[in-house]
A = this chain, B = another copy of it.
Amino acid sequence: MRKNPSGIKEIARRAGVHHSTVSRVLNAQTRSLVSGKVATDILHIAEALGYRRNSMAVGLKTSRSFTIGVIVPDLTNPVFPPIVRAVERTMGTEGYVTVLADTDNSMETERIVLDSLYSRQVDGLILATALLNDDIVAECRKRLVPFVLVNRTISGATATSVVTNDSYGIRLAVEHLVELGHRKLAYVGGPLNASTSKSRHEGFREAMTAHRLKADPRIMYECRSLTSDAGSTACQSLIQSKRRFTAIVAANDLLALGCYAALDAAGLKCPADVSVTGYNDMPFAEHFAPPLTTLRIPLTEMGNQAALLLLRKMRDPKTVLPSVQLQPSLVVRGSTAPPSRSR
């Protein structure tokens, strides 16, 4: 590792300023305290000398690394990259580097990842992994790491989060299908230990009741994971159950994609035989065969808002910030149509 024991002093000597001025300029947080011309000169000299802040040493002194971490549950779900990209861009304009870690839906991996990021002194965290009863959130609190939840929140919503109104979104999907004439709606949901899946599940039941329809538990599924494979397995069971249904409300787009596969394997056409709705409007949803009717959630806005809240928390860790709830909107595409007479 490169050492800079006298780097700052040498820069100060060449620039003809006190070494504390150099320190101020090399720290993005305090740079504005030094006049523009002097700061520019110092940065040029630092660059010419190949000076790089030894962040480890700086970190030990100031506890600032200008790096934040984002933890996602499933890197292969295309819903997360746009959120992360927005975080990166917003944090980047404030001089922060974003590193990403993927837990592969494992709480054990999440703990190891959190340990690693914490030891490497990230200044803050954005967690897209929250479960309703979440040890990791407790851990972040104990360690006094500023953090913001994104997409999912915890039980009681007692942490600062940026989420969307999930039950409202599912209600839009149910209303759309009911307006098309569907009455027998199946539901393919995710694990109920995540706020998103729980709210969507409850939203489905509430919306059905509001339309004086029965949310039939015999055609409602709770998948173990939010993946295409899990959706396919659930839809297979649904088809094999021989119960009547003309539409499937899926709790996310990957589950919906799995339903496409199971319907196709059973010789059923979407939407002619069965309509399908998704949730998230993830990238590529409009390119699927058929293009997926789904709920659009503002992914970029979620990332931006989470980054802005985290910046505020890092500046003033004691501040209590209100959570942000964004609204989903229905995007109607080719996967929904009036029910066929024969079913």
Q: Which residues of B contact A287 (CB under 8 A)?
A: 257, 260, 284, 287-289
Per assembly, the copies of the chain total: 2
Query: In the complex, which residues 104-125 of chain A have their Cβ closer than 8 Å to any Cβ of chain B?
Result: 104, 109, 112-113, 115-117, 119-121
Q: Which residues of B contact A84 (CB under 8 A)?
A: 75, 102
- Tell me the complex Cα distance, A182–B88, Å: 44
The number of chain A residues with a CB under 8 A from chain B is 50
Q: Which residues of B contact A113 (CB under 8 A)?
A: 97, 99
A 74-116 to B, binary, CB cutoff 8 A, 1 in contact else 0: 0110100110110011001000011111101000010011011
A 264-304 to B, binary, CB cutoff 8 A, 1 in contact else 0: 00000000000000000001100111110000000000000
Which 5 pairs across A and B sit closest by C-beta, in order of nearness?
A55-B119, A289-B289, A97-B116, A120-B120, A100-B100
26 intermolecular pairs with C-beta atoms under 8 Å apart: A2-B143, A52-B119, A53-B119, A55-B116, A56-B59, A56-B60, A56-B119, A65-B119, A67-B116, A75-B81, A75-B100, A76-B78, A76-B85, A78-B284, A85-B104, A89-B104, A92-B112, A99-B101, A99-B113, A100-B101, A100-B102, A120-B120, A120-B121, A284-B284, A284-B287, A289-B291
